[in-house]
A = this chain, B = another copy of it.
Amino acid sequence: MMKIAVDGMGGDFAPHAIVKGVESVCREKIADVVIVGDEKVIRPLINNASGIEIVHTPIYVDMDESPSNALRKKRGSSVNKAFELLKAKEVQAVVSAGNSGATMAFAIFTLGRLKGVDRPAIATLHPNVKDGTTLLVDAGGNVDCKPVHLVQFAVMGNAFAKCALGMSAPRVGILSNAEEETKGNELTREAHRRIKDLGLNYLGYIEGTDMYNGRADVVVSDGFVGNVVVKISEGVAESIITFFKENVRKSLLKKLGYLLLKDTFKELSRKMDYSETGGAPLLGVDGICIICHGKSDGKAIKNAVVLAKGFVDNNLNESIRDTMQSYQSLQRVKERKKWIIF
């Protein structure tokens, strides 16, 4: 059986939510799990230990700790130990709902990056109106990017969509302020110039409205913008739901209407619920890692393990490595051609 390490101390509801999620993983025989964290607090929470192992460490990273601080001072922390288990091939993937910056930092520090990747990126999965999934890369890992990073996000996102989402020719677009080539900012214009030569199924610039209308499969942006996209989406959805709840209170007939549409509201909530996808894969590190929402409950942790297992089964990283390699050869050929011409 596959074995996956879960950071027992990471997340707003850790370790309770973590243990709950891990127990259902083991009960449903999805995988064996190593919970890394403080055994004294974790052990008493476990009702059924079958399939669960604990690797003890009393150290953990705080949710608001800076990644650089964590890297310097929290070497023996639960999240770092989880990655060490992966590095030593004792587990096949890591799941963490802890401080995402620190998780990313320890992943890079412990596992290293895949060849050709300068900046690993967080990829989030968003449901679109065509009943498909739109992938956003980078959803928050890298705030100040250079064009080459966006190019790598495009290549990794493309590989991910092919390998993990089963798309044959994912439509890739750069998130911009308008569709015309002349628009965008300095960063996107240069990235656009480079991505268009890669031979991807490339749409060019797409706009914010295309994030949910199913026009694109892979949306490329720097992590600052990506984070804004994720949180604005959350904010709009929450405010619409709040609006409904408050408005519906105003009359009995409306309450009845709401009741009749209860399933619809539930399905909407489910669609927008991060815990359904479980977490976001960290693309570009040498090992499978799922970063979960800080607010993750047991269901989210379970679904993150399911996601991680799928990526291991599909050899996600082989696929990213191969694509990065062919992208680099393409770049080398171009460089050589330049020398021949000039």
Chain A positions near chain B (C-beta within 8 angstroms): 64, 66, 128-129, 140, 143-144, 175-178, 180, 182-186, 188, 207-213, 221, 223-225, 227-240, 242-244, 247-248, 253-254, 256-261, 263-264, 267-268, 271
Contacts and interface: CB of A to CB of B under 8 A. Distances in A.
Integer count of this chain's copies in the complex: 2
Contacts of A66: 180, 182
Nearest to A224: B185
Contacts of A232: 208-209, 211, 228-229, 232-233, 236
B230 A213 contact: no
B227 A177 contact: yes
Contacts of A207: 227, 231
A73 B183 CA distance: 19
B185 A212 contact: no
B228 A228 contact: yes
Nearest to A67: B182
Best-buried of A128, A223, A227, A244 by chain B (most CB within 10 Å) = A227
B240 A240 contact: yes
Nearest to A143: B185
A228 B229 contact: yes
A144 B186 contact: yes
Contacts of A227: 177-178, 207-208
Contacts of A186: 144
B258 A261 contact: yes
A66 B229 CA distance: 27
A235 B271 CA distance: 15
A66 to B, nearest CB: 5
Contacts of A242: 129
Contacts of A176: 224
A239 B209 CA distance: 9
A236 B208 CA distance: 9
Contact of A236 (B143, B236, B256, B267): B236
A62 to B, nearest CB: 12
Contacts of A182: 66
Contacts of A230: 208
30 contacts: A129-B239, A177-B223, A185-B224, A207-B227, A207-B231, A208-B228, A208-B229, A208-B231, A208-B234, A209-B232, A210-B235, A212-B236, A212-B238, A213-B235, A213-B239, A224-B225, A225-B228, A228-B228, A232-B233, A232-B236, A236-B236, A240-B240, A243-B271, A244-B264, A244-B268, A247-B264, A247-B268, A253-B260, A256-B260, A261-B261
B235 A208 contact: yes
Nearest to A255: B260
